[in-house]
Amino acid sequence: MSFKRSQSRSDRQQQIPKVSDDNALTKQINDTHGHPDDVREFDVKPLLQMVEDVFDFKTNDVTQETVADSLDQNTKARYVFESLVDLIDKIGSEIDNKCREGAGGHEITMGTLKKLPNYSWGAKLVITLAAFAMNYGEFWVVKVKYYESDMLAKSIARLKQLTRVLDESSGQVDEMKRLIEVMINIAKCILKLKELPSLSTMTSIHRAEEKLPITVYWTIRSMVACSSLITGLMGMEDERISATETWELSSLTNKLSDMHKNLNAQLENCYKEIDKENQEKAFQELKTLTKTDQNDNMQILKALICGKDDPLPLFIKDKGRVKIDVLCNKNVLLLISDLDISEDDIFMLTNIQESRDLRKEQQEGHQYEIVWLPIIDWKDDMQDRFKKLQDGMTWYSICHPSLIDRGVIRFVREEWHFEKKPILVVLDPKGKVASFNAIHMMWIWGDLAFPFTTSREEELWSKESWGLKLLVNGLDPAVINWAAEEKYVCLYGGDDIEWIRKFTNTAKQVAKSAGIPLEMLYVGKSNPKKRVARNIETIIWENLSHLWEDKTYIWYFWVRIESMWRSKNQLGGKTKDDPIMKKIMKVLSFDSEAGWAIFAKGFDNQIVVEARGNIILSCLENYTKWKSDGTQQKEFIAAVKDAVEDAVKEQHHCNRLTFPPDDGKTSEIPCADCDNIMERFILYKCCD
C-alpha cells in the first residue's frame, strides 16, 4: 500500500522559496549557527568514508552489511558513528517524514541546520549525509541488489509499485547519483579546507570559509531533493515524477558543480599561499643558519636536505638509503645542478673521487663527502632521467628531488646564484660555507685543492707557472712522460682538417730538419661535435698525431682552461697584472679559430709559444729562412717564439671570448622555435 501525502508533488515544488538575495539567505543560514565557543569539533572523516561506502557508484555493490563492514574495518569510524547515531537517525527520520508530508526544500533544510547549531559546517554536512545515506541505502538495496534476483525483494517492489516506477524513472535515478557524487566531493573539499593550518594572514582561507554556509545549505537542500525523489519512488501509485522535479535535480547538480569548482579553486589558492609561506619560512631559516655559528653541520644540512622530515633522505650506490648523520662533522661538497648535468661532469668527478680514495689512508685530514642536490621544478616525467643520473654517481645524493623544499630551491638560486651550470658549494664541519663554488678548483687541481677555501685557492695559484704542467696535469700520463723526457711537445686544436694536415706534416718536417724530438697532441675544441669526431677519425687513419679518442678528455681540457679563467676572475685577477691570466685568455680565444698551436718543452721551461693557425703555419713553412738568418743557433722554442712575435706585429687581430654567465642574474629568454629556455653567453671581443 502506498503512502498518502497531504500535498501533491507539483504543489510542493511551487512552495520552494525563490531567494534571489544570497546575502539575505546567508544571514538566515548563519543565524542557525551557534556561538564559536560552543561549536563542537568532530573528526568526521571516518564517517564520510563510511558514507562513501554506501554511495558506491563504481560497483553498485551495496548490501545490508555495507555499513557494518565499514564500521568493523575502522575503529575510529565506529566510535564517531556510535557517538552520533541518535542524532543521525533523528535527522534522517525528520527529513523522510517532512518529505512525506510535502514540506518545502527550504523549510526542511533550515530545520536540519537548526538541529546542528553547535557543529562545524563540515560536520553539519557529513552528519546530514550520513542520515541521507541510511535512507538511500534501504532504497538501493531493494532497487539494485535484490530486485532482479531475490523473490522477497521482487514482492516488496511489486507491493510498493517499484516495478513500473523504477523502469520509468531510470533517468531521474541516474541524475540523483550524479548529484550525490557532487555532494560527496563538496564534503571532501570542505574537510580538506578545515585541515589547513589556521593562518590569520591567509586571505584565501577566509574567502573560502565565507562561502561555507551557503555551500552547506545548498548541499543539504540537494539531499532533501534526493530524499523527496526516493520518497516518491517508494510511495508512488498513479502519480508520476514531473518534469519539474527532474529539472530541479539537474539544476541542483549544475549549481553544486559550480560551487564545488569554486571551492576547489579556493582550496588550491590556499595550498599555494601555504606553500608560499612555507617557502619563505625555509628561505629565511637558511639565511639565518648560514650567518650563525653552529656546533656542527647537522642543522644546516637538515634544513637543506630534510625539508619533508624523511628519516633516510640520502641515497648512495650499493648501500641504498641512509641517514643524514653520515655527514656529521665532515666537510660536505654540495654538487648542485639540474638534470642536464653532463655525463662528462660525472665521469671526471668520479675519477677525481677515486684518486682521492686511493690516497685516503695517507690523507686522513682530507675527509669530505660529495652530495648531489638536484635543483629542479619536479615533474613525474623526469623520474627516468633522475634515476639514470643517480645510478651513475658514486657519491651521496638526495633520495628524491621532491624532498627538497621549494624554499631551499629559492635560496640556492638567489643566495648561491645557481642558474644552469653545476656548482660545488663547500660546507665545513661546522656547516659554514667555505666556498660558494669550488668546482673550478676541483677541475684544475682535483682534491689537492682541499679544503677548497679561497686562501687555499690563492696558495695553489702562487705555486703555478704557465706551461704543460698547468695545461695537462692529471689528464694524460703520456704528455707527462714526454715532458719528463725533455721532448718538445705541441698541443694543437681547431676543426679545419685541411689546416690540420698541413700543420702536422709541416711541423714534423721542421722537427726532423731541426733534429729535435717532437710529440704532437690534438685537443679539438671546447664543444666537440661531429666535425671534431670526423677529424679524430682522419687523424687516426692518416697517423697525423696523437689524440684523445675519448672526447670526454677533450671536453675536460677545455673545461679546465675555462675554470682557470673563472678561478682567477673570482679572485679578482686582472689580465694586465697577471701573466698567467693573459695566457689563459689567449688560449680561450683560440677556441673560436679553425686552427691554433702551443709549443713547449719540459715542465720547467718558461718559454711557451701560443699562436693562431695561420701564423704558426706560416712561421713553420718559413723555417728555411730562419736557418739562413742564423736563427737556428737559438733554442728551438725561443726561435719559434721570435718568429711568431714578428708575424703578429704585421697582422691585425680580432680576439673573441665567449662564456656562459654564472652569476644567475640574467633574465631568461625562450627559443622562438621550441620555447626551451635559451643558453646565455657573455661575449668579450677586441678587434683592431
Three-state SS across 579-594? HHHHHHHHHHHHCCCC
Q: How many CA atoms lie within 13 A of 298 on its CB side?
A: 8
Beta bridge partners of 433: 427
Instruction: Supply the DSSP symbol for 426.
Output: E
Domain ranges, ordered by start, for the chain:
20-57+71-277, 297-451, 468-650
420 vs 338: CA distance, rounded Å: 7
Question: Pairing state of beta strands 654-659 and 682-687?
Answer: antiparallel
Mean pLDDT by 10 residues, the chain (688 residues): 43 46 83 82 84 67 49 58 83 90 90 93 93 80 56 57 54 85 94 78 76 94 90 59 69 94 91 87 91 91 82 90 92 95 91 74 67 93 94 94 91 92 94 94 92 92 89 85 89 92 93 90 86 91 92 91 89 74 86 84 75 86 71 70 74 57 53 56 57
324 vs 534: CA distance, rounded Å: 47
Nearest to 117 by CA among 196, 4, 213: 213
Q: How many CA atoms lie within 13 A of 233 on its CB side?
A: 29
- At a CB cut-off of 8 Å and minimum separation 6, what does 57 contact? 177, 181
- At a CB cut-off of 8 Å and minimum separation 6, what does 156 contact? 142, 162
All three cell numbers of 360, joined, read 685516503
Written as one letter, the residue type at 422 is P
All three cell numbers of 22, joined, read 544570497
Nearest to 180 by CA among 129, 141, 118: 129
Q: Are 629 and 524 in contact (CB under 8 A)?
A: no
Q: Are 418 and 374 in contact (CB under 8 A)?
A: no
Q: Are 430 and 296 in contact (CB under 8 A)?
A: yes
637 vs 308: CA distance, rounded Å: 62
Length of the chain: 688
Question: Pairing state of beta strands 609-612 and 546-547?
Answer: unpaired
Instruction: Supply the DSSP symbol for 663.
Output: S
145 vs 140: CA distance, rounded Å: 7
Written as one letter, the residue type at 243 is A
> Would you state the pLDDT for residue 108?
94
> Would you state the pLDDT for residue 159?
56
Inter-residue long-range contacts of 324-330, CB under 8 Å, 24+ positions, other chains counted: 324/298, 325/298, 326/369, 326/396, 327/297, 327/298, 327/301, 327/369, 327/371, 327/396, 328/296, 328/297, 328/298, 329/296, 329/297, 329/429, 330/297, 330/367, 330/368, 330/369, 330/429
End-to-end CA distance of the chain: 108
249 vs 252: CA distance, rounded Å: 5
Summary count for the chain: helices (H), strands (E) = 28, 14
371 vs 333: CA distance, rounded Å: 6
> Would you state the pLDDT for residue 246?
66
Q: How many CA atoms lie within 13 A of 593 on its CB side?
A: 23
Nearest to 489 by CA among 619, 624, 608: 608
461 vs 130: CA distance, rounded Å: 77
E-only strand ranges, 93-171: none
Nearest to 648 by CA among 596, 611, 608, 675: 611
Scored b (16 or more CB within 10 A) or e, 259-272 reads: bbeebbebbebbee
Q: Is 449 helix (H, G, I), strand (E, B) or coil?
A: helix
SS3 content of the chain, % helix, strand, coil (to 5): 60, 10, 30
Class of domain 297-451 (CATH, top level): alpha beta
Q: Are 509 and 624 in contact (CB under 8 A)?
A: no
Nearest to 637 by CA among 611, 603, 604, 599: 599
Q: Are 233 and 169 in contact (CB under 8 A)?
A: yes
All three cell numbers of 527, joined, read 664543444
Q: Is 364 helix (H, G, I), strand (E, B) or coil?
A: coil
